Amino acid sequence: MNLDEAQKQKVAGWLEEGLKLSEIQKKLASEFGLSLTYMEMRFLLDDLKLKPKEKEVLRAPAPDLSAKPGAAAKTGPKVGGPLPPEEQIDELEEEEEELPAGLGNVSVSVDRVTRPGAVVSGNVTFSDGKSAQWYLDQLGRLGMVPKEQGYRPSQNDLMGFQAQLQKELAKLGY
């Protein structure tokens, strides 16, 4: 693919603007009459020694399975901030214990023999009687495999599941 200097500068400018590769493909087609596949587009950028801008992706940190629940509050303040007064901590602990109405009808069990590829796994039965297998992988991602294909538990059941799972894992020291 031969582009003149002006075209190369234009492509570099589009990358600086933060355009996606698909958007640059469309601009090349409309402005220069060049129809490129995605792979050809990647090769072109490689030939021009250009890299697309990587957008910063905010991700929630993976849960620390080695820490016991509540350990952060007991060990001290997080960097950059003081602990709240004792009264506020007590209020928060009381709120965590109370499950909202409709969330108590979920039962969670942890497998004695962990599912392959998981750190911990088990079963859950939802308030409607449907059940699923759950697992937590090495990256801290929670997955669920329902026994009935296509089954999706209600939002209340999911919240109850997460609360019960947290309690069960805390009992085991996770």
Between the alpha carbon of residue 121 and those of residues 4, 30, 55, 125, 165, the distances in Å are 58, 52, 34, 14, 10
Element (H, E) at 110: strand 107-110
Question: What pTM value is reported for the model?
Answer: 0.42
Between the alpha carbon of residue 64 and those of residues 2, 72, 115, 141, the distances in Å are 51, 11, 20, 12
On the question of pLDDT at 149 being above 60, the answer is yes
Contact 68, 170 (CB under 8 A): yes
Q: How far apart are CA 69 and CA 92, in angstroms?
A: 14
**Tens of pLDDT, residues 152-166:** 888 999 899 989 998
In this structure, what token pair is assigned to residue 89?
Answer: 């901590």
**Tens of pLDDT, residues 75-106:** 444 444 454 444 444 444 444 444 444 455 89
